[in-house]
Chain A
Amino acid sequence: MSEGIVKEENELNIKTKKEIVLETKDLEKIYDGKVHAVRGVSFELFEGEVLGLLGPNGAGKTTTISILLGIIKKTKGEFSILGKQIDDFKTIRDLIGYTPQDLVFYDYLTVQENAELFADCYDIENKKDRIKELFELFQLTELKKRRAGKLSGGQKRRLNLVLGMLHSPKILFLDEPSAGMDPQSRNILWENVERLSKEEGITIILTTHLMEVADKLCDRILIIDYGKIIASGTPDELKSTFGAEEVIELMIAENLESKTSESFIEKLRKRFSKVTFLDNTVKIFTKKGATLITEVVEIAVKLDMTDFIESLQLRGSTLEDVFIGLTGKSLREGGEGD
């Protein structure tokens, strides 16, 4: 419940301050003249907010972040961070933090040594205290003498995170921060991201292909697919993208003739404004699901296919639904673990 309150506060912040710390305009990236990874991305990042780039694998999230960090070159477009163009990023190095998608540290160094090294790379004054503080937060204190290469996957993730925020950056880029974390680690992450954004006032831009993460963590979400922003807004705004807060979901048996299912969908689409059909699952976006559910059943009865309906439910719409509604495909599709 407390998360709800935090979010409201942040929304308030955005409304009152609305200072732009990062801005991109028509950003494009074509790798090797072939792969069009980012196709005109424009957005703003406001001070103190947690912005999520949500999209399936290969959508161009990492590419976008890498351009903003100056790791890779943009092909077209413009962007500025804290009012600076890429050329004088050197002057704001210590204001930006980055946690890469892959695990980046020295395996042969201990957890503590890794932290000290990267702290020194940012010339942090009270590095011992800062490291101690972050290790406590991310539950690494007991692991600090271990070789980083010998940590478990989730522990490595947490170290990877800590290394990006040692210098208390103003803007923190988190690329898939929750990848490979168990629910407990993920909770630690969520608590800490909230704490960082609230207490330290760090502006966070994170990528994820997990709805759950975006929904929970982000004040605002950009849904990216094929290198383009296809929708944006607060999680609640996005959930009601199709003018609907509810979804009627039907699971249809696999052995139903495709002719029947096709005419079923056709009929539904005539009646309702937004209907998706993917993986034998029908989603109907609606506002008054309770009154309309009977209509759906009636259509099914008419087609004599009630025996083939495996489940039928009415629930609040999720970001996942929205994503499927927008792209016609599932976000988890081809997802490499989570």
Chain B
Amino acid sequence: MSKIRAFYSLLKTNLLSITRDRTTFFFIILFPLCFVGVFGLAFQWSDPLTSSKIIGIINYDTGIDGGVIAFWNGTTTVNDTFYSEEYIRVLKTVLYPESNVTIFEIQIFNITELDVAQESLETRNIKALITLPENFSSGVLAAFQNKFGDDPILTAATGNWTGYPSLDFKTIVKVDGDSTLQDFTISGTIIEKITQYFFNFGDDPVEGVILDVYGSLSTTGFTVFDFVLPGLIVYAILNNLASITDIAFRDIEGGTLRRLRISKVTPPMYVLSILASQMVIAFIQIPLVFAAGLIFGFPASIQVLYAFIPAIFLSLATSGIGFIIAGLVKGAAAGRGLAGIIATPIAMISGAFFDIPNPTIISNVFGNSFGLYDVLPAAPAIRIFRSVLLHNNSLASNAFDLILLFILAVVFLLIGIYLYSRKHFKPE
């Protein structure tokens, strides 16, 4: 009971030190958000709108029986007609206004390659996937008939061909993609316009087709920004190193640790209050950075909840590093300086901002490889965050990294607490 009261009071004190100090508050809360903003804006503009967007097409169109067309045209021999081919040709050739750049680069998938197409969509190798149904050509025919009236020859042909569409027949063209992806939204709109134009033979209104443009909830594909954002969450938590050393040195140099030491506060309680404060901060940072990421197009997902568990471990490991600094470095200025300097390179070589080669040390640990930088807690943390937030994976599928992160947290904490208490909790 008594311990809880002191613990709570110390925790509150640690948290207030952050909210009441503008510099610390900036570093802990605003700095990561600024980072998100800078990255978000940079990548927003990095992809010019007039570049061709790669879209995929799966074509199930069975075409129109050549006989029907032949009868209609009054000719004798005509091949089966696939209006979908004409449709694809149009898509391929449309240009950006006043430009010779085509809007789309089309990649055709075989009907047996549905899974390949889906995967391309998920990894965002294609921005949208258009599915043309079996009755696509029939839809074109129906639209034609609606537009130009009931053609007697055509009607006569009905009797000879059972596949002939009725007047109110409509075909359904599906356009799929990631609705949070700007490229998809733009592509979808353009596809819609072109399709309407195609089915209406150059005029409105549309007949004969229902365009089904929808974005599946989220894909495991990503933009450069999407790739960076999980790294930024890790970077934000790593940056708390400065605040941990700040708290530790504040108590050493300000003499408050002396006061606390002679009170009933025990070293574990003191250390726990610092750890807990760091966790609270990390728990505030995650949703903030995530929300900022959403503004710049990061896919929204409930998966963010999973991020809190690795965040606990990462926060503990970071606190451990902070205690190591406070236990080894003499002055507060040097300690703070060191804490400020090392967070960025750690984040960088752990792969927060871009993929970095991680030399393998042990090639097979329970089927996973252990790289040089994996001794840094940020490395497995970043992999977990990416896997969970970007690829929608479960925590269980990250078991190896999660266990690795946990072990690193325990190791860093133990070393840190040992060094710190050896120096500051024993009589001098």
Q: Note whether A and B form a binding pair.
A: yes
Give the shortest distance, in Å, between B297 (CB) and chain A (any CB).
38
Given A109-B13, A122-B264 in contact, is the A104-B259 Cβ separation under 8 Å? Answer: yes
In the assembled complex, the Cα of A94 lies from the Cα of B6 at a distance in Å of 14
In the assembled complex, the Cα of A118 lies from the Cα of B260 at a distance in Å of 8
Contact with B along A102-129 (1 / 0, CB 8 A): 1011111100010011101111000000
With a cutoff of 8 Å between Cβ atoms, the chain A residues found around residue B147 in the complex are none
Give the shortest distance, in Å, between A49 (CB) and chain B (any CB).
21
Given A104-B256, A108-B20 in contact, is the A118-B263 Cβ separation under 8 Å? Answer: yes
Which of B10, B260, B263, B428 gathers the greatest number of chain A CB atoms within 10 Å?
B263
Given A73-B427, A108-B20, A108-B21 in contact, is the A120-B6 Cβ separation under 8 Å? Answer: yes
With a cutoff of 8 Å between Cβ atoms, the chain B residues found around residue A70 in the complex are 261-262, 427
In the assembled complex, the Cα of A108 lies from the Cα of B21 at a distance in Å of 8
For chain B, give the interface size range. Answer: 20 to 34
CB-CB contacts below 8 Å: A100-157 with B: 100, 102, 104-109, 113, 116-118, 120-123
Q: Is A5 an interface residue (CB 8 A)?
A: no
With a cutoff of 8 Å between Cβ atoms, the chain B residues found around residue A73 in the complex are 426-428
Partner of B8, one of A102, A108, A120: A120
Contact with B along A234-264 (1 / 0, CB 8 A): 0000000000000000000000000000000
Give the shortest distance, in Å, between B11 (CB) and chain A (any CB).
11
CB-CB contacts below 8 Å: B1-20 with A: 2, 5-6, 8-10, 12-13, 16-17, 20
Contact with A along B214-254 (1 / 0, CB 8 A): 00000000000000000000000000000000000000001
Partner of A121, one of B6, B16, B17, B427: B6
Partner of B258, one of A71, A113, A120: A71
In the assembled complex, the Cα of A109 lies from the Cα of B262 at a distance in Å of 20
Q: Is A72 an interface residue (CB 8 A)?
A: yes
Give the shortest distance, in Å, between B423 (CB) and chain A (any CB).
13
CB-CB contacts below 8 Å: B374-428 with A: 426-428
With a cutoff of 8 Å between Cβ atoms, the chain A residues found around residue B2 in the complex are 123
In the assembled complex, the Cα of A163 lies from the Cα of B426 at a distance in Å of 22
Partner of A69, one of B8, B255, B262, B426: B262
Give the shortest distance, in Å, between B262 (CB) and chain A (any CB).
5
Give the shortest distance, in Å, between A305 (CB) and chain B (any CB).
52
Given A93-B263, A100-B258 in contact, is the A71-B428 Cβ separation under 8 Å? Answer: yes
Q: Is A277 an interface residue (CB 8 A)?
A: no
Q: Is A214 an interface residue (CB 8 A)?
A: no
With a cutoff of 8 Å between Cβ atoms, the chain B residues found around residue A323 in the complex are none
The reply to whether B17 and A106 form a contact with Cβ atoms under 8 Å apart is yes
Given contacts A117-B12, A120-B5, 6 further A-B contacts (CB under 8 A): A106-B254, A108-B16, A121-B6, A121-B260, A122-B264, A163-B259
Top 6 A-B residue pairs of the complex, sorted by shortest distance between their CB atoms: A123-B2, A120-B9, A104-B255, A121-B263, A73-B427, A108-B20
